[in-house]
A = this chain, B = another copy of it.
């Protein structure tokens, strides 16, 4: 293991050169004009994996190809599957880039290019770590499988199909994804939980057409009034969601989790300043990080009714609608939440108003127990790579592909983010710290060693 790390440390220049070569390929998956470049990036990764002696296959899909490779099986050891992507976001607006997005430039120890952190740089750490093991030890301590796709930035349209058709081939004990961030510079993190979502649209109808609010006001129910009354009743003053059954299945934060979160260097004052609010708000009894990462919410995403132009119009609107969504935490079930919501809204419906509730999409939250041996192994590996024990964090958003992996492969998912929060992944001047790149390769190399020791 020490030899592997030394080997990695000795090849910083080569690793950087390879990263820069890959970053020069404008593999913009969203734009058909770049289709050949997207293919070229896939082939680049394929050649790199083949070059180290792995069988690597480009699988044709209805869209951009999926690259699949695997190291030899290691009986008795678990199997790890690395998921990443070689496609990138469009680089627009081009004139805000200090150096061109596909001409990687190193400034202040960081490489600036589209895809630097999302996800070419992070993905490559796992490729280089496997290469190092193969170079030094002629084997990897456990079998590593690679699924590197080219459609992550356009919704992974063909990945689900590939996964469903290949569950046996892809069988594994854990999935490793490096496409997130550290908690802060110098504070490496393992993301062990994500919130789910249940997205709704409530459409209310009153009279058949907009009416004069003078002539008709008071005579007939106003759907906009009804909408505010219904939605206003769904969250109370203490920030609790007032839908009977909503909290029934919520997995409570453990004492250990609350302690982990409390120990994080989270600066509330800076966060308030970032958002330009004089006060934070949310569910009573929980810290800001707890509320954002591990407590369910109900947030209105959009409101539409009546006259929205300048000035005044005395209209009693015929319709009013709202888009709103609940962020869910383990073990809430989006289907059950939808049923509870529908029941509550039906109770809250005013006389003279018709209601339609559209269920847009739902996904459960995911969380790995902090006691999971995979998490523990990953923590040790991250420490080996970064020289500091990682913190355990969760994410308030959803990463749909994580649910897909967890559902189809029944594997734990390790979200090991080597990036920083200010790496500008979908913005101009995307960057990745070269130090974080090299530390990531080291951590990945250590990960194979640590995971290999887990009893299957």
Contact = CB atoms under 8 A, between A and B. Distances in A.
A352 B239 CA distance: 13
A282 B219 contact: yes
A325 to B, nearest CB: 6
B315 A305 contact: no
Contacts of A315: 301-302
Interface stretch (A44-52, A210-218, A366-374): A210-218
Contacts of A225: 231, 235, 298-300
A442 to B, nearest CB: 29
Contacts of A197: 214, 314
Interface string A189-202: 00000010101010
Contact of A283 (B218, B229, B281, B317): B218
A320 interface: yes
Interface in A125-177: none
A344 to B, nearest CB: 14
A436 to B, nearest CB: 21
A351 interface: yes
Tier of interface size on chain A: 35 or more
A276 interface: yes
A222 B220 CA distance: 30
A317 B304 CA distance: 13
A428 to B, nearest CB: 17
A197 to B, nearest CB: 7
Contacts of A216: 275, 292, 396
A207 interface: yes
A304 B295 contact: no
A306 B227 CA distance: 15
B360 A396 contact: no
B352 A325 contact: no
A281 B351 CA distance: 7
Contacts of A305: 300, 302-303
Contact of A217 (B230, B276, B327): B327
A277 B206 contact: yes
A221 B211 CA distance: 33
A117 interface: no
Interface string A322-359: 11010100000000000000000000001110000000
Given A303-B308, A303-B320, 17 more contacts: A199-B314, A211-B275, A214-B327, A214-B396, A215-B396, A216-B275, A217-B297, A220-B275, A228-B300, A277-B352, A281-B350, A301-B312, A301-B313, A303-B303, A303-B306, A313-B323, A314-B325
14 contacts: A197-B314, A218-B299, A219-B280, A224-B302, A225-B300, A227-B303, A228-B231, A280-B352, A300-B305, A300-B306, A300-B320, A301-B316, A312-B325, A313-B323
Interface of A: 195, 197, 199, 201, 206-208, 211-222, 224-225, 227-233, 235, 239, 271, 275-283, 288, 291-292, 295-308, 311-317, 320, 322-323, 325, 327, 350-352, 360-361, 395-398
Please give me the 9 A-B residue pairs with the lowest Cβ-Cβ distance, nearest first: A232-B232, A214-B397, A208-B276, A224-B300, A302-B306, A221-B281, A218-B291, A228-B231, A303-B305
